[in-house]
Amino acid sequence: MTFQKFRFRFSHLSLCAAGLALVLAPALSPAQNTAPAAGMTPSAPAGITAVGELATVPAPSLTAKAWLTLDANSGQIIASQNPDESVEPASLTKLMSAYLVFEALESKRLTLDQPVTVSEKAWRTEGSRMFIKPGSQVTVDELLQGVIVQSGNDATVALAEAVAGSEDAFAALMNQEAAKQGLRDTHFVNSTGLPDPAHLTTVRDLAIMSKNLVTRFPQYLHYYSQKEYTYNKIKQNNRNRLLWTDPTVDGLKTGHTQSAGYCLVATALRDGRRVVSVIVGAASDSARSENSLKLLNWSFQNFDTIKLFDNDKPAVNARVWEGQSETVGLGTPTATWVTVPRGKGPQVKPVAQYTQPLIAPLKAGAKVGTVSLSLDGKLLRQDPLFVLNDVPEAGFFGRIYDKVRLLFQ
């Protein structure tokens, strides 16, 4: 991965100069100011652009109903086709089911060695199976391998019941989590992905869901790279062929029904950079694997993901009035990464827009504006700007002095 170091010099604009900024960036209210570094454009275009549109090497030609590739470090969509078309997720549904199980494990509502009694309903669930027996006790760890490695519908229902009491209640939790994650076009009816007219999603939502899973629960990713699992003396292979094809691939989930076609969410980690690809509606098992590998290779080979700033490296040092300090760093509490066509990192143009004047006291974590990142005149991403450090109020005379100075700005 290519790491570029950028030095940003954001100049403080006076209130008079803010008038010019408002002409250039009419979306700003009079209480905001634009602070670009030297040589940076004073405004960013509206609308986020998929970075793949700026690449000189076009996306590969794929045979699938819908597809998408996303950089998990930056969260940016690199390229897509039909990203918001309603599709059946089939067993890709189990990504959300596993997410809720992982969440239950982290909150100590479940433990990996906890035995779960298999219900008649779980045992009777049709489709792919782990071959658990009704009335038997199976640990959460074993059931997770049944869900993730073997794609067992019976194991999925057993875990759903362990988390929520019933599969219907679990489906309600799935929809609640989908809303929390901003999956606007996703609705779950069951935990397994068995066909239902109302059980729908999009490749955009699947990509977001998958990115959230791998970034929040890396401690459980080993299940997704497990190539086989034997239970009840029955060995089943992971259906993700890429685990054998490419050693950098470590997940994530296959899906298939007659109506959904062959689907695959794949992810690979190369030199610290993670990419997620989503393929839905391929014609065959081999087609979904080949298409996914093409997408992953294209995404890694033709794009860089670079870190611009974080809690220790502010996006802008802003002027503070009536405070014990004259400046404060504005930035993001976590690292801000941006994905760009290979070699284009130095051409990224950041523009900070923040409330002016900033008057103490200021609390760390207070949101005061946004920072936009653009390339070739196209907006790649926009993030909120937060105050990175507390700035206490100055003494009486210091405040009066700044009040007078503000009158002449």
Q: Which residues are catalytic?
A: 91, 94, 151
Q: Residue type at 359?
A: I
Tell me the C-alpha distance between 398 and 409, whole Å. 17
Q: Are 84 and 202 in contact (CB under 8 A)?
A: yes
Closest CA to 281 of 81, 94, 126, 147: 81
What is the DSSP-derived secondary structure letter of residue 75? Answer: -
Question: How buried is 38 (Cβ within 10 angstroms: 0-12 exposed, 13-18 middle, 19+ buried)?
Answer: exposed
Q: In a 3-state reduction of DSSP, which class is residue 192? A: coil
Q: Are 266 and 93 in contact (CB under 8 A)?
A: no
- Please provide the size of the chain in residues: 409
Q: How far is CA 337 from CA 18, 79, 241, 265, 382, in A?
A: 29, 17, 30, 22, 11
Where are the extended beta strands (E) located within 220-325?
A: 228-231, 234-237, 249-257, 261-270, 273-282, 303-309, 316-321
Tell me the C-alpha distance between 38 and 59, whole Å. 34
The region, left, alpha or beta by phi > 0 then psi within -120 to 50, assigned to residue 322 is left
